[in-house]
């Protein structure tokens, strides 16, 4: 797999929507939500492009006046799971957050997603708060965060 990480473009909308459908069983973004993230939100989305096929993506949200970025969505195609792509994409997203002068990165993750919880913990994220009945199917979640090292 020859994956290139790059900034998402508006023309990636259809591929991002397909990736959402393949990777998640619920709590998926609609085309309209994805369009907003790509075109209007104070956000940055990176995609993992394998010769024209999107194998993953991550979206960071930024709030004006805040030094904390939020990993709003993070997705790796089922065929690429376990390949190290998740770590590679998360490291790149952390660099984007630092470039936006973020001092911390926060996220929410399903309590039953042991693979994602393991990745986030290995990457230095710590459990912050339990989120009861957080997802649309009633599953609880964890809020996690990680301090980011700003480069001088």
pTM higher than the cut 0.85: yes
* 57-72 pLDDT per residue, tens: 999 999 999 999 999 9
Confidence of residue 41 (pLDDT cuts 50, 70, 90): confident
Query: What Rg do the C-alpha atoms of the chain give, in angstroms?
Result: 15
Measured CA to CA, the distance from residue 46 to residue 102 in angstroms comes to: 17
DSSP string, 80-113: GTTTTHHHHHHHHHHHHHHHTT-SEEEEEEETT-
The two structure tokens encoding residue 51: 């010769």
Q: Is the pLDDT of residue 35 over 70?
A: yes
Q: Is the pLDDT of residue 152 over 70?
A: no
The two structure tokens encoding residue 77: 């195609």
Instruction: Give the start-to-end residue ranges of the domains of the chain.
Output: 3-147
CATH topology of domain 3-147: Aminopeptidase (3.40.630)
106 Cβ partners below 8 Å, 6+ apart?
Answer: 68, 69, 70, 71, 128, 143, 144, 145, 146
Q: Give me the residue label for tokens 């970025």.
A: 69
């Amino acid at each position: 797999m020859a994956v290139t990480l790059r900034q998402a473009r508006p023309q990636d909308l259809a591929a991002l929507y397909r990736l959402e459908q393949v990777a998640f069983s619920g709590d998926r973004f609609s085309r309209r939500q994805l369009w907003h993230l790509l075109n209007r939100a104070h956000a940055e989305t990176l995609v993992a492009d394998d010769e024209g096929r999107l194998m993953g993506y991550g979206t960071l949200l930024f709030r004006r006046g805040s030094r904390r970025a939020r990993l709003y969505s993070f997705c790796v195609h089922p065929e690429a799971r376990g390949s190290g792509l998740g770590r590679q994409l998360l490291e790149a997203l952390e660099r984007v957050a630092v470039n936006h002068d973020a001092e911390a990165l926060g996220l929410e993750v399903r309590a039953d997603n042991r693979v994602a919880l393991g990745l986030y913990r290995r990457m230095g994220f710590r459990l912050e708060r339990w989120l009861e009945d957080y997802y649309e199917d009633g599953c609880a979640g964890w809020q996690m965060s990680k301090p980011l090292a700003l480069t001088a």
